[in-house]
């Protein structure tokens, strides 16, 4: 299985989009500071995840979210709205 995920930084409330085949391990890596692009924004909380059978499908989805601002904007709005209702 492959995962496209969205993390929320507890330090600056910004979102990070990523892709992995091991969600638990990847979240631990982000929170341990093993990822240079997120090291200064720790700790993170998993707020959204999509599961794919195909690696290609997961990578395509991740790229769409990162490259197509409307997709990212809509997803971000949905996530933030759901977090605010908790």
pLDDT in tens, 56-68: 999 999 998 888 7
**What is the value of pTM for the model shown?**
0.81
Q: Tens of pLDDT along 34-44?
A: 999 899 999 99
Question: Average of pLDDT values for 56-85?
Answer: 81
Domains of the chain: 2-84 (3.40.1440)
The whole-angstrom separation of Cα 12 and Cα 41 is 7
Number of helices (H) and strands (E), helices first, in the chain? 3, 3
Residue 85 pLDDT level (bands cut at 50, 70, 90) = low
pLDDT score, position 23:
97
Residue with more model confidence, 21 or 78: 21
Which residues are CB-neighbours of 45 under 8 A, at least 6 positions away? 7, 8, 10
């Amino acid at each position: 299985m492959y995962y496209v995920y969205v993390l929320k930084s507890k330090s600056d409330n910004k979102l990070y989009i990523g892709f992995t085949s091991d969600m638990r391990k990847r979240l631990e890596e982000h929170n341990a500071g093993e990822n240079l692009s997120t090291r200064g924004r720790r700790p993170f909380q998993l707020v959204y995840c999509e599961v794919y059978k195909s690696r290609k499908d997961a990578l395509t989805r991740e790229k769409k979210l990162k490259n197509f601002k409307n997709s990212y904007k809509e997803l971000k709005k949905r996530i933030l709205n759901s977090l605010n209702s908790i």
